[in-house]
Amino acid sequence: MTSTVIYEGDLRTVATHLQSGSVIETDAPLDNQGKAERFSPTDLVATALGSCMLTIMGIKARDMQIDLRGTKIEIQKLMKADPRRIGGINLTFHFPESLSLNEKERIIFERAAHSCPVIFSINPEIEVNVVFNWQIEARI
């Protein structure tokens, strides 16, 4: 078993990762009768995608002895109605200014990101847009 989820009432759940004991609380979003005081379940889906992409990139970075520490992803989840569902996920990667990679290394990391298990688990009807904002020095 991976986790347990308990309904606390008032549209809040508490999920516990059984191996580590780590806890995540969720709330329904404001546009669906909730308080939005925590991640919503659909927020977690979009966030899981970004976290997975960055984790797979981190594995590749460790193999290549490159430090990706400080890399940040801005994630935007777009909802659709009837039925209510995730319609799109926009991910924008921002890399530290200190990270200097050549074109081959950038391609390796982009391919790694696009090979994460979560992206293959997302319904193909969900539009996923990914932008990699590499800090590329102008060369003369």
Q: Where are the alpha helices (DSSP H) in 1-140?
A: 41-64, 103-113, 117-121
- The 10s digit of each residue's pLDDT in 66-89 is 999 999 999 999 999 999 999 999
98, two tokens = 């200190």
54, two tokens = 């960055």
Same domain, 69 and 113: yes
d(Cα 61, Cα 56) in Å, to the nearest integer?
9
Same domain, 59 and 90: yes
Low-confidence ranges of the chain (pLDDT < 70): 137-140
From the list 128, 108, 105, the residue with the least C-alpha distance to 118 is 128
Please tell me the pTM assigned to this model: 0.92
Same domain, 68 and 137: yes
How high is the pLDDT of residue 79? 97
How high is the pLDDT of residue 139? 42
Same domain, 6 and 64: no
* DSSP 3-state of 86: strand
- The 10s digit of each residue's pLDDT in 23-32 is 999 999 999 9
